[in-house]
């Protein structure tokens, strides 16, 4: 929540824009900040960049990105990251949730700043740009299972490097696109793939389900349906899992595995951001034609922003990022032209020096 007393803070790393959200729109905002010679940082609650593209469908084709007949979600993330983080050396703070903010007086700079309090500490900046998509992602847990006990000991909700599953026995729980996609992606890499779903029919796209059926027929994927995870066993690491029927009765099965990937979907929401004082509409932050929110000094773009003319697409979000950064910089530097110089004329400026690490995780 906003502190109105303009309390004094000690000197620390200060940037022009703190971008909350490392999805495609947040990465694009980082690029535009770099083109404006603005210092910025990117903060995201997920353990990897890419937002929904990385968390939900990294290997799905996207067909509506300008200049690409089709491009895989993970490849789009990689190219946007190269264009922004790689090109301008933008610091990125992952596994970091924005909690609250206040306005504080900086004694050395002699200016009022926005102090964003996060789970990784306080970040100081002149403006804030919300690009958090649908808000923070919280993975849906396995019912009745102590996920915290087994996380990083064999259980995972996010796949960041598929190579880590090479030659291993992998169980994937879920019936949607993400679970089926990962089963197909890992079937030629892992020693064994067991796909578990509480129903005997999958919710994934029919084309993906057809591929799963073919892989099962070829013996490359093993199904356990309809089943649910009843218990996890092991010591310093996960060793085996007990599956049981959805309803009472039925056979209990035990599988020796090395890894358990849970893909039951994610719970999204504004979380702590809902208490920052924004005017909200349809679950998003109401913005004007400059992408300004109702809170001075804070802009929003992408799916988290809403307006009467809103169209929720990656393509429109990328354009909103350019608009938001332009007006944020006009707010910081009123003497600077609102219209950016064309890259064909000026090229790409050098990155802005920063004392923060390029990539860090809580």
Is 301 in contact with 315 (CB distance < 8 Å)?
A: no
Q: How confident is the model at residue 12 (pLDDT cuts 50, 70, 90)?
A: low
Average pLDDT over residues 176-184: 91
Q: Give tens-digit pLDDT for 40-52.
A: 999 999 889 999 8
Q: How confident is the model at residue 58 (pLDDT cuts 50, 70, 90)?
A: confident
The mean pLDDT value for 62-83 works out to 94
**Based on C-alpha coordinates, what's the Rg of the chain?**
23
* Residue 338: per-residue pLDDT: 83
Phi and psi torsions of 186, nearest 5°: -100, -10
Domains of the chain and CATH, by start: 7-137+267-361 (3.50.50.60), 141-264 (3.50.50.60)
Percent of the chain residues past pLDDT 90, beyond the cut: 68
Query: Which H or E element spans position 168?
Result: none
CA-to-CA distance for 127 and 277, rounded, in angstroms? 16
């Amino acid at each position: 929540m906003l502190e109105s007393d303009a309390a004094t803070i000690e000197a620390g790393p200060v940037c022009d824009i703190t971008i909350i959200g490392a999805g495609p729109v947040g990465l694009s905002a980082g690029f535009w900040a770099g083109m404006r010679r603005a210092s910025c940082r990117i903060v995201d609650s997920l353990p990897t960049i890419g937002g929904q593209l990385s968390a939900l469908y990294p290997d799905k084709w996207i067909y509506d990105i300008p200049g690409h007949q089709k491009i895989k979600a993970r490849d789009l993330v990689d190219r946007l990251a190269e264009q922004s983080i790689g090109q301008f050396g933008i610091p990125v703070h992952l596994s970091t949730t924005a909690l609250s903010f206040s306005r504080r007086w900086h004694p050395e700079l002699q200016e009022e700043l926005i102090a964003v309090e996060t789970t990784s500490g306080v970040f100081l900046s002149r403006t804030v740009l919300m690009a958090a998509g649908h808000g923070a992602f919280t993975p849906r847990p396995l019912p009745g299972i102590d996920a915290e006990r087994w996380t990083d000991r064999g259980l995972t909700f996010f796949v960041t490097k598929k190579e880590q599953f090479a030659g291993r026995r992998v169980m994937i729980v879920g019936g949607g696109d993400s679970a089926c996609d990962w089963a197909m992606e890992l079937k030629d890499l892992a020693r064994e793939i067991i796909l578990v779903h509480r129903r005997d029919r999958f919710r994934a796209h029919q084309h993906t389900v057809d591929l799963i059926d073919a892989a099962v027929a070829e013996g490359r994927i093993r199904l356990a349906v309809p089943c649910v995870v009843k218990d996890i066993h092991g010591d310093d690491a996960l060793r085996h899992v007990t599956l049981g029927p959805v309803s009472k009765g039925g056979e209990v099965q035990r599988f020796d595995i090395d890894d358990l990937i849970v893909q039951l979907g994610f719970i999204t929401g504004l979380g702590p951001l809902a208490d920052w004082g924004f005017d909200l509409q349809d679950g998003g932050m109401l913005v004007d034609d400059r992408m300004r929110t109702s809170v001075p000094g804070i802009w929003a773009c992408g799916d988290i922003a809403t307006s009467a003319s809103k169209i929720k697409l990656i393509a429109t979000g990328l354009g909103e990022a350019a608009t938001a950064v332009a007006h944020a910089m006009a707010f910081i530097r009123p003497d600077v032209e609102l219209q950016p110089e064309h890259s064909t004329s000026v090229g790409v400026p050098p990155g802005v020096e920063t004392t923060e690490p390029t990539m860090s995780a809580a």
